[in-house]
Structure 1
Amino acid sequence: MNKNQLAAKLRKLAKSYYDGQPQVSDAEFDMLKKHLREIDPEDETGFLSEVGAPVSGKTCKHRITMNSLDNVNNEAEFRKWYAKLPSNKQLVVQYKYDGGSMGLEYDNGSLTRGLTRGDGITGEDQTANVKKCWNSASGALGLDNQELIESGHGTIDNLNMRFSGCARGEALVFWEDFTAENFPNPQREDGRESNPRNSAVGAIRKDNSPRAKWVRIICYDLISDDMNFDTEVEKLNYMKELGLPVSEFHICDTADDVLDIYKHVQENRQNLPFMVDGLVLKLNDIQAQKDMGVHNDGRPRGQTAFKFECMEAITTLREVELAVGHTGNITLRGHYDPITLDGRTFQHTNLDNFDLVKRLGVAVGDKVTVQIAGDIIPKIVDLHEMGEDRQEISPPTTCPSCGGPVNKIGAFHKCTNDECEARGVRKVRKWVETAKIKYYGPSIQEQLYNCGLVTEPAHLYTVSTLEMGNIIGHGNAERIREEIEQKRELPLEVFMGGLGIPMLGRRQAIKLMESGIDTLEKFLLLDPIKGDDGVTVTIDGVRTKIEGFKDNLVVIANGIKKSAKTINNLLESGVEVKTTPKPQLDNTDSPLAGKTFCFTGFRLKGDEVTQFIQLGGVEKSSVSKKLDYLVCRNKDSASNKAEKARKYGVTLLNKQEFLDLLESAKPQFKY
């Protein structure tokens, strides 16, 4: 996997994490991120300097960027970091809460805005939900702000003093509030949502959420133009004086002091009233922090997160269930005797493929080690003891759903029957997820599939509200119909990315569109030919080389041909493919028109890419004497590109300066 592929994978994983639906453990994500840092030290992919995930809904810029922290994962890494600190300097140790990061903005002591972290620069404006939180006057306790302060809980609403600035905090659901009554999910065996972290994130991000009253925000940092603090302890004590709910903290004089706290909290974290996944370490001396500076991607050198090791238990594997995904890949789901870790019960986990089963050497009836790495995702990581009547887990020779032929392709066994029923269910699911059709969850999908009403994406647009209502209830049917009607006109990249074609997601569709395959007709006529110089396709009658796809383009073209019937049915059902018209220049004074830009340390996203291209900017991959601008996260960067740009007299911009330039260009165009 090259650096661009790895960055794309990490972006997808980051988004799922910040949406409250993590796909991998924290430890696995950190390992992948560490590998990317090794193969992309200058952050040319831009992922390493990104914070959080793209935002949706009503957004607002943070007054001060919310950067992420570096992390260490064991004693050796911690001591290596500690050795770089100034001598005889104290550390402040706080919990690393496992919830959703928040930025709270105040004017004269009154909360004016509550933002999610988002991408660190821009967050979702969820002020209404924040003002309903547990430690506010509208929260579940029913206490006013002064009563909250006097009771020791603290308040996030009206503070004791006329403070203006920003507080940083974490949105959490405490274990005592994490009940089936407060966070119900009837589709789960225990009747409640999967874990407190996901519940906290979901409650804060859902508009007008009634569950927000069970979310508590604990603050751990404060920033103000009007105030300067000498130490972190001074700052935290001032936060208490304001009446804010403040993170517990300890002061450590030595590395061994930190390790003692780390070991104690890790061994006893199941007794804490909330979820934590590590400790945050900061130099107490704030000037010493500033003197240490930051990494190129903005992470402060004087702070780090000390992550906890995984939690694990031994149980007996009782059954392995096979399932078929939308591309035909056969996956395994292991069922084992229930185990309790960190206050939660687990009894299922995914086994990625049969190669993993072989590598682990596990069989049904064995005692296995199950780990919840990052405190979220359970995984079978080891064979503990073979069972007496163990049953080998063998790859299927026929599809478990349709009985059709199975081939091994790469690490996966794959059903080759395009009409396989299980693939049909998941093709509908893929379309729903890509088109972002709300309320049409897995349970409803299976009900409508099993009764024959929605067995392919086009049926979503042709099934009547009455037919759906007879199966899933008329209230559900009406809100789903309203949502579907809003998704009849779709951007080309969403349409193509939602078909479930191997190697063709929304991001890959955008890349092909940027290469000139920018209409549905061009996608349907895709005719890749592999030659000595790479893969070429015909675009407007000319053979054109397409970079970055290699053999995948052949797979995509074959997948499009196999999906011809699905595409035709969607178009006949009334789905329209939307194309964005290119803008026309009103004048020649655009600050971007014809100018060349090289980006390093971050990458443009979504609408930014579209605006940049439409407004006449030209992207270059390297620095040369002819380059107009080098855009980097930190203009003081000592990277090779930055040094080369200074040598050639190229203008350096930071990201915000570039975005301001982009904004200033908008009025000069008409559409």
Structure 2
Amino acid sequence: MKDKLKRMEDLIEELNKYSYEYYTKDNPSVSDREYDMKYDELLTLEKETGTVYPYSPTLRVGDVVLPEFQKYTHIARLWSLDKAQSFNALEEWHNRNVKFINNYNNLNEEKLPPIKYIVTKKFDGLTVNCTYDNNGILVKAATRGTGEIGEDVTQQVKTIKSIPLKIKNNALIEVHGEAIMTKEAFNEYNKSAAAPLKNLRNGAAGALRNLNVKETARRRLSAFFYDVGYNEGEPFKSYKEMLNFLIEKKFPVDEYMGECSNLEEVKREIEIVRNLRETLSYDIDGAVIVIDDMRTRELMGYTVKFPKWAIAFKFEAEEATTKLLSVEWNVGRSGRVTPTAILQPVELAGATVKRATLNNMDDIQRKGIKIGSNVFVRRSNDVIPEIMGVASERDDQQEIMPPKMCPYCGSELVQDGVHYFCENTLSCKPQLVKSIVHFASREAMNIEGFNEKTAEQLFEKRDIKSITDLYRIKKEDLLDLDKFAEKKAEKLVKAIEKSKNCELSSFIYALGIANVGKKTAKDIVKKFKTLEEVMSCTYEELISIQDIGEIVAKSVLEFFNEDKIINTIQELISVGVTPYYEEDTVKDNPFLGKTVVVTGTLENFSRSEIKEKIESLGAKVSGSVSKKTDFVLAGKNPGSKYDKALELKVEIITEESFYKLLNN
């Protein structure tokens, strides 16, 4: 029995270590199969011994339905944050802080240090307060509630695999974090949900406040920790020291942290966080600015509601509610007829939103959306706003019905799965116009001066019915079109002629294969090198290409299996279109064949630009630091990846040294 219990302890320590590597560090050291074998061994031993330790990973399944929520009184109060929505309000707060420190230092011998702020993201989820006992075991998790009394959600929190069930610490502590739902978990859940979630925050909050803990586990929540609210151990001298403690104890801590010594630096960090917002897989709604020095915090104290030493700078909302007025049906270049919501105008993320995507009828029915409903609208990353769900119903609601005929050409629509299609590819104006415009676009055939207005006129006045017809246009055909004089007509004809000599990847992209963007087109061409090889490729060959999965592979194969597609390509070649491929030659350089990790904010590159640059040098860009990493390129405010590089003695380079290495 003793041996079995010892083996269980060893397995639990191993499995919790693997979970930390997988869910927090994104750097697994074992395969899923190896993890599963050890997990199954632990399950067997738990059944044999009748013992389940409170920090066993088998408790994360959440196979329990609780009768009700129990109230829990926090050891230390959880405070709300004062909010600033303008830099003027932030400046007033900063000036009060400076005044307090100056007044104190004028009256006391033991001086407070110069002001230093730490800026972090403000996560948009649900606050959780986790209590770890003197043995480092998670014994309680609760919601914020009133700040003094919350609800016991220990079983629900244990389903969050990034939260440690046991830490190496011998003092009672309360740790504050934010339970969040990622966009990936949200989308995956909604694929099979009977009642789809409306937004990420409600998804996280609803999961933690669900008495069916198995349902909580299904939502695959994540978490970030940012504060120790109560601590019977060694006190912290600074907030940065506190965050490092959390990292050391293997809590999931966000890698972004800005250090500032004046208001201008704080403003710059807020803009960095605002820009980061667009790239994140989870929601943030602002930045949190706190004074770093703990003694200064203690002396400044609290108002009735807020700590005086912290403030949240709020960003514009990405979600709002408004009324759905009507639905408009549009035809895309593939013939798919899709619904667009016409909304009562609403201000959202700095813009007036009047339209939003509705995806398809299946999506409309699952979300219960009707004309006249008050709906949640979300806008982020400058993409088309989307209706997430119904906020409230009204008496004057009407069901949304799909059209039976094409709203443009009157042809009967055909249903294929959840989508409706107009199969009149020859004379349905939107399909042909959009196909030609895409074909002529800059990243495709790059026909300069060609636009949608021109395509519409060619369709209506010159009976252009195929892409190949573009290459038969003469200058005289353009002269009586609106805004076409001789010089402009001549210029467009030359641009069309010039486009015949094109890169193969541009040609593949121009054809408009479903799910194939410019990068995927480049990846395909790099593998096959000729048009003939691309057209005759196999499923196995396609999925062997990095970043190409089952959906893209099937789209490519189905596309080149269509007779009309093959005929169109042959016609294009017959009129002189000549796609070519040139092998990229990577010159010898210090990054050739190396693995590079990027952390922090760079001055001259966005994340996508630096990734493209590094890959063009023949290097691989990785998202996590390991012993196999050759370089860590560190910008401003590097996070935990920088610390990991120091720990593993990986070479760290700055943006400046990156250029020097290239130039040498």
Higher helix share: 2
TM-score, normalising length: structure 2: 0.45
